Structure 1
């Protein structure tokens, strides 16, 4: 399955890959939010695109962040 850049699935994968790369044993809302903030910074300052696309990516990143936090809360219960 191909995941399109900027989609919710893309950002979910990026967050999960970052968690795995950093070998975080204590995954919680804070660690997920730190990664999301880094991705958001990159979108705002490093990614060159039309503003409409940037806003769509930022919205998808926030939705991906929320989905992963919800899944993490379910696992930790």
Structure 2
């Protein structure tokens, strides 16, 4: 399945990839803040797009973070 940049699924996958690559077993506020900052920077400064799309990406990132923090899903292994 292809996951497109900027979708909620994309951001969830990126968050879990970051957690796995850094061998973080528990989802903490600090780890989520680190990956959120990285992804926001990518959206704001690296991704060339219309401002409307940029805002939609930021909203999707917020939604992905809230889904993860509410469910405290297990980190993929």
Interval of TM-score (by shorter of Structure 1 and Structure 2): 0.7 to 0.9
Q: What RMSD, in angstroms, separates the aligned Cα atoms of the two structures? A: 1.5
Structure 2: 5+ residue runs without aligned partners? none
- Matched residue, 2:66: 66
Runs of 4+ displaced beyond 6 Å:
none
Q: Name the CA distance, whole Å, in 1 between partners of 2:26 and 2:62.
A: 21
Structure 1: 5+ residue runs without aligned partners? none
Contact 1:33 1:65 in 2 (8 A): no
Residues 6-61 of structure 1 deviation map (CA, whole Å, 9 limit, x = unaligned): 11011000000110011113421221121011100111111111111111001000
Q: Name the CA distance, whole Å, in 1 between partners of 2:65 and 2:33.
A: 7
Q: Which has the higher helix share?
A: 1
- Matched residue, 1:9: 9
Q: TM-score scaled by structure 1? A: 0.85
Report the count of equivalent residues. Answer: 74
- Matched residue, 2:28: 28
